[in-house]
Amino acid sequence: MALPASAVRAFEPPPQPERGAPACTTCPRWHSRVEAELAASRPGSVAASVCAGPPRGVSHGFNSGPLLEKTRKAPSSLAGAACAPLFALLSRGRRRRMHVLRRRWDLGSLCRALLTRGLAALGHSLKHVLGAIFSKIFGPLASVGNMDEKSNKLLLALVMLFLFAVIVLQYVCPGTECQLLRLHAFSSPVPDPYRSEDESSARFVPRYNFTRSDLLRKVDFDIKGDDLIVFLHIQKTGGTTFGRHLVRNIQLEQPCECRVGQKKCTCHRPGKRETWLFSRFSTGWSCGLHADWTELTSCVPSVVDGKRDSRLRPSRWRIFQILDAASKDKRGSPNTNAVANSPSSTKARNTSKSGKNFYYITILRDPVSRYLSEWRHVQRGATWKASLHVCDGRPPTSEELPSCYTGDDWSGCPLKEFMDCPYNLANNRQVRMLSDLTLVGCYNLSVMPEKQRNKVLLESAKSNLKHMAFFGLTEFQRKTQYLFEKTFNMNFILPFTQYNTTRASSVEISEEIQKRIEGLNFLDMELYSYAKDLFLQRYQFMRQKDHQEARRKRQEQRRFLKGRLLQTHFLSQGQGQSQNLNQNQSQNPNPNANQNLTQNLTQNLTQNLVQNLTQSSSQKENRESPKHNPGKEQNDSTSNGANDYIGSVEKWR
């Protein structure tokens, strides 16, 4: 079967274009090479003009599409006669893609032309605007309209440099994070990194009077010895986050070993196979799920003394045996005073038989936010059925602690139903978990009247919280980190993060519902107010103590430098006086006169030095008297400084 003549010519080697003839290099990608060479060989045809495309910088416009369609629809034309055999050799999909690419190429050339003309118009307008501005400012000096080409280029370069600097500054220093862009940064001091996280005033008016021993919390925690940190984890107070900080974010000689996929970490003492942390993420729920103060103070000493490796969780029956033995020991004690038997006042409740020290810590939260967070957690199916609630050696009966739901869980319960249950343990949970329940007969409500019971529970919770080694607040993460580091002399690797958006904050409640929640948690509200006041007073006390310590170090450094300067001054004077003495001795051979002269000189120097020191110290004391109480510390520092300088002078003599 013979091919058409046009197809035979298509497969022949392409003819070389004449010298000076334009080469066809702008065909689309999917055009075949044969079609390109064939179009180039016919410079006068319509196909050649379509293949060559528009000149550089000129677009077909939107009328190029219909022109191509007309060309395709005219099979009798020269272009149709040239391209029909080539399109016949291609598939239908390939021909469709060629048409789409041609349309895209036309649209791209149009966009490029519009962009070029737009930039040119923008530059022209900018030139006229800047010229008008400069004519207003520098009109008497020169006219911008008569500026030569070099001046225009220099002006354009300055404008482009300024725009580039602004763009770079926005990338390097975005938004309000750049302190240099703030006008008040040059007049105001450096902001306090521990400023109140709730955006309230850093200064507050204390409501409670605490002693120095209540505010000063600095324990001598010996991680290499037998000391143990016990974390009392209250539900929905941010204890999970703080517990992870304890095992993953503390700088230790031997860090905790945390494996991927496991909740518990191994926190051993350096060189020992004993744990220094009793918490959910180190020993697990060894005393029961979310054990309260009553359970922990009875269980932890027995668990630690009963087994050396606290990583092994005891069985449920073993926990009951431990708590029962502890309750029998307590009932058999000769001291029957309820306050004296309180864990906060009894040293035996904070130490074990082997002499180990237990430092209890916890985290508190705003009662309304905590209550809403627990309600959302219960809605998702949480029950905490594994909690033992052991008190006085036994768990509560079903009559003492009824359940609020009948099924497997309380998932999907509305907020009204959650608040209507009178046996809901979410009500005043923080007071109940921090108080000694044995003082009120555990969960038996018939032991004493409700008003008296609430009063005893609240006072017990306040006392236990005040005598704890440390407690933090969820609403003050940075301050919590600061107080923990100062209390235990242990530093965290990364700073704590304050999350202002939680599940509880997403719940929108009316003012009436909020007041009802506050009424259901009236004991927690009073306890949180007490804890917040104590927490902020401790923070301010520790910060003032740090400032005083830094001031004392600066004074010691200045005193040391002043002593060095005086010492060098006396040495230089002594060398000059010794030279004078040698000259006098050569002129006057009497040795007694020389000795008397030396003694008189040293005495005069000593007296002048003491007078100068006393004057300077008195002036400094007068300057600092309105800021500090002029007590023994100032006198001691003055006398010590004078004695040091007198000692240096005597040493020089």
Cβ atoms within 10 Å, residue 547:
10
Told to judge if 377 belongs to the known catalytic residues of this protein, a careful annotator would answer no
Nearest Cα residue to 480 out of 496, 462, 493: 496
Contact 369/505 with Cβ under 8 angstroms? yes
Provide the 3-class DSSP secondary structure of residue 232. strand
**CA-CA distances (angstroms) from residue 503 to 244, 321, 409, 487, 511?**
20, 39, 20, 31, 18
Cα–Cα dist 639/645, whole Å = 10
Both tokens of 58, joined, read 């000129």
Q: How far is 132 from 125, CA to CA, in rounded Å?
A: 11
CB 365 within 8 A of CB 374: no
List the one residue out of 99, 100, 86 whose CA is nearest residue 32.
86
Report how far residue 16's alpha carbon sits from residue 489's, in angstroms, rounded to the nearest whole number.
Answer: 88
Contact 82, 42 (CB under 8 A): yes
Distance in angstroms (rounded) separating the CA atoms of residues 563 and 621: 19
Distances (CA, A) of 382 to 235, 373, 411, 610: 11, 12, 7, 75
Active-site hit among 60, 233, 268, 290: 290
Q: Other C-beta atoms within 10 Å of 133: how many? A: 11
What are the φ/ψ torsions at residue 142 (nearest 5 degrees)? -160, 160
User: What does the DSSP assignment read for 399-444?
Assistant: TTS--S-SSS--TT--HHHHHH-TT-TTTTHHHHHHS-GGGGTTT-
Catalytic annotation, residues: 290
